[in-house]
Each structure stands twice: as C-alpha cells, then as structure tokens.
Amino acid sequence: MTAVRYSANPPMEFPCIDKLETRQRGLMAGPEPTYEKVVTGYEVYHHQKPFVCDHGGVLPQLDIAYETWGHLNHEKSNAILLHTGLSASSHARSHARNKNPGWWEKFIGPGLAIDTDKYFVICTNVIGGCYGSTGPGSVDPATGKRYATTFPLLTINDMVRAQFHLLDSMGIDHLHASVGASMGGMQSVCAAALYPTRVGRLVSISACARSHPYSIALRFAQRQALMADPNFNRGFYYDGVMPHLGMKLARSIATVTYRSGPEWEQRFGRRRWAPDQPPALCPDFLIETYLDHQSERFCLQYDANSLLYVSKAMDMFDISRSITRRLDSQRNHAIAELERQQNNSVKDTTISTAGGANRAVCMNINEQPESTTGQSRIETGEEIENDLVAGVSDALQPALVLGVQSDILFPVKQQKEIADILRRAGNTKVTYYELDAMYGHDTFLIDFVTVGAAIKGHLENSNR
C-alpha cells in the first residue's frame, strides 16, 4: 500500500477570493443594482425625435438627466455647461432635492470657482451613462427590453450634440462657458469646435484633442478584464448576475492611472496592512488594500455596459477636421437612409440632426477626406497637427487649458497640444497653466484652491 504524501508547506489562504465568492452568491440571489437610483434629485429632458449617432446607430428617443444650480438671467446669457468625466453623474453639487455632496462640491456655489450668484450651471449625465440618461441599461422602446449591447456605438460628438438639444429646450442659444475635465475636457473642446458661435469661453482640464495610444491601451485593458468575466454574457447580464469581478478588475486598473506615484509614496509607502503577519497573495500592502476597496465600492455603482461604451467613445475622440467630417458624413448618410425608410414622413417626425444648429459638412459618403488621420497608414507629425488645427479653426473664444505634471493618463504634453493647436488656428486668447500637483489625473477633483482659482479668473475676467 502506497503511503499518502503531504506537502511540507500548508496551502495558502485566499480571503480575498472567499470574499468575492460570497459577494457572487449574494448577487445570484438578486436583485440587480438599479444604477439610476444611485443618484437622485435630477431632472430629465425627453427628446422625442430619433437621435442618429455618428456611427450610424439610432436611438428612437432620448432622455438626458441633468441638474442645475444658480439662476438663468433674463437674457439667458449666463449659463455654464459643465461636462463630466467617464463615470460621473449629473450631481456635481448638493441642492435641495439631493443634499449629498456632489463630485465638484467645493468648486460650485456662491463665491466659489463657478459662482452660482453669477452663473446658471447645468451638468448632465452623458448619453451612454447609467445615471438617468439613455444608455445600454435603458429600455429600448422598440423591444420593451434593455438595450444591452444592441445600444449604438457613441462618440464624444454625439454626447455634445445631445447636450445641445437640452440647451435648445431651455431656450439657451449662447453659453457663457463650456467647462470640463478629463472626458469632460474632451466634450468642452468638442463643444467649442462644433458650436463656436454658441460657446463663449472654453475650459479644458487634463483632457486631450485626440486620444493617445497609452490611454487607449489602458482603457482597452479595462474592457478586456470586464468582458472576460463569465457573467458578462456579451452584455446581456441584466436578467442574471452582473459581471462584478470584471468590473472590479477594470476599476483597479483605472485607479492606478488616476493618481500618481509621488502621492502614493507619501500616503502608503511600502507599509503593509498587517506587518506582523507572513506575506499574502491577497491585498497585503496598504496600496493593495486601497485599490481593493476603491474597486469594490465602484463595481456595484456603475453599469458595466456603460463603462464599455463611454470608454470606447473616449478612445475614438479626435477633434481633427478629417475625423469630424467623416463622422458628419456617416451620420448624414444614416439620417438620409432613415428618412428614406420612413418614406419622407411629415416634418414633425423627421430626424433632428444637431442640437438646433446643423454644422454637418455636406460631403458625399464615398468622398475621401482630405487627410488620412485615424486611418491605418503612418502619418507625419505635421499632417496630424495640421489636421487638428483645422479641426479647431472656428474655436476662437477665450480658452483656459490646465495640465498637471504628475498626470500619467493625460500627460501635460497633451494639454500643450490643445493650447498649441488653438493658437495656431488663430485664437489669441489662450491661457495655459501647468500645475505642479502630486495628485495625478485626479487633481481636478482635489485641488480646489489652485484649479478653482484658475477657473474663476477665466470665467470672470471681463477683458477676455
């Protein structure tokens, strides 16, 4: 009889996996998180006409969740449109209908960076999101079921066009300013370029004029981690178990990009959670416990499909003229096809194109754009920059561009690029600041003194 042999070493313990398995069993018992209830107190604009997206998809109707602060003046000239980052809701500041602190609580209010004694502030949840605006988790009126991954691909341009539909419904023809950070900065640049006569001032913080390979790669890794979750089910998980593990891994990757090494050196160093215990493969260092906590908190508060769609829109962002024209051409072709299918229906059911100001460039769908930016061939730096300059040629309003030296997700090089192309396009009122802050990309959420002072000065400077 062969003797049973035992390893000289005991098996490792995995309390983190035990925790995940416990959470998984809880999710299997339901119910599915209702993301739109994470935030309350917002208003909803309902756009009843079909909304045709840049890549040809169609939303039969559209909801935009939004919140406001301050008062719109009689001339309707003091409105500021505040654009959000990837996963933010419309709740930028507390108010009577929702007293919870907003994500920019210390920036918005009487006497603050965006002074609500002077300005009427509007913040929306972007389309594709999950906090009240139409997104993959919304019900498709054509089927009575959630869109899931039948939801059309979006662009940053689509998000901005939807926001201008909202402005049209409010009777706001001209904004005092368009303000945004991160993906919000992309939207702000886009709004200034697409609606130059409707945007009075531009504020872009830690954003870009086009997404660069490094940030694309990081967001790709997040999506791959998410889609590898067995519960993802190609996006049709709403009647089952949500991809909790994939979302947690995706958020862990993202969190690494949002902060900086110097901050973490100071905040965590190499300290361990339980230094008197043997090393563990589960969260052990304080930085690991931080990532574990942040990702666990996020993964049940944001819809996985929204993360896929909105992050992909960020990857595809490019304000170059050739790209904008190509998107306009695709959308116009889709509009014409839909109108043909509707058999030239009456005017009140025709397709609404661009927030009351159709700036689409009339171009045959088969016509080649003048630049190949965004295509497969290798472009020269001069070609890329010239195309970007052409893309913002009408954005001549006073502009503030802020960058953070410790930002690894949107490095200062990309902020300089925004300022440079605006200046080359003929904008003589561009202000560029580079902040020596240690908080990385999230500086725009944290440093309300420095960032806030720059914003306040730009918005209130009557000489610009």
Long-range contacts of 213-220, Cβ-Cβ distance < 8 Å, separation of 24 or more: 215/257, 215/314, 215/315, 215/409, 215/410, 216/315, 218/253, 218/254, 218/257, 218/409, 219/311, 219/312, 219/314, 219/315, 220/315
Residues labelled as active-site residues = 182, 407, 441
- Give the pLDDT confidence of 90-119 residue by residue, as tens digits: 999 999 999 999 999 999 999 999 999 999
Report the pLDDT value the prediction gives residue 6, as an integer from 0 to 100: 76
Q: What is the mean pLDDT of the chain?
A: 89
Taking a C-beta distance cutoff of 8 angstroms, is the pair 93, 105 a contact?
yes
Judged by average pLDDT, the poorest of 8-17, 237-246, 284-293, 412-421 is 8-17
Count the alpha carbons within 13 Å of 262 in the hemisphere toward its beta carbon. 11
Q: Buried (b) or exposed (e) across 172-204, using 16+ Cβ within 10 A?
A: beebbbbbbbbbbbbbbbbbbbbbbebbbbbbb
Q: Report residue 375's pLDDT band, with 50, 70 and 90 as the boundaries.
A: low
| % of the chain surpassing 70 pLDDT | 88
State yes or no: cis peptide before 31, omega within 30 of 0: yes
The arithmetic mean of pLDDT across residues 123-128, rounded, is 98
Residues 6+ apart with CB under 8 A from 258: 409, 440, 441, 442
Residue 307 φ/ψ, nearest 5 degrees: -60, -40
DSSP type of residue 91: -
Q: How far apart are CA 287 and CA 270, in angstroms?
A: 8
Which burial class, exposed, middle or buried, applies to 25 when counting CB atoms under 10 A from its CB (0-12, 13-18, 19+)?
exposed
DSSP type of residue 347: G
The arithmetic mean of pLDDT across residues 426-440, rounded, is 95
Q: Report residue 79's pLDDT band, with 50, 70 and 90 as the boundaries.
A: very high
Q: Does 353 have pLDDT greater than 50?
A: no
Q: Does 157 have pLDDT greater than 50?
A: yes
Report the pLDDT value the prediction gives residue 352, as an integer from 0 to 100: 46
What is the signed CA dihedral for 101, 205, 160, 317, rounded to 10 degrees?
-130
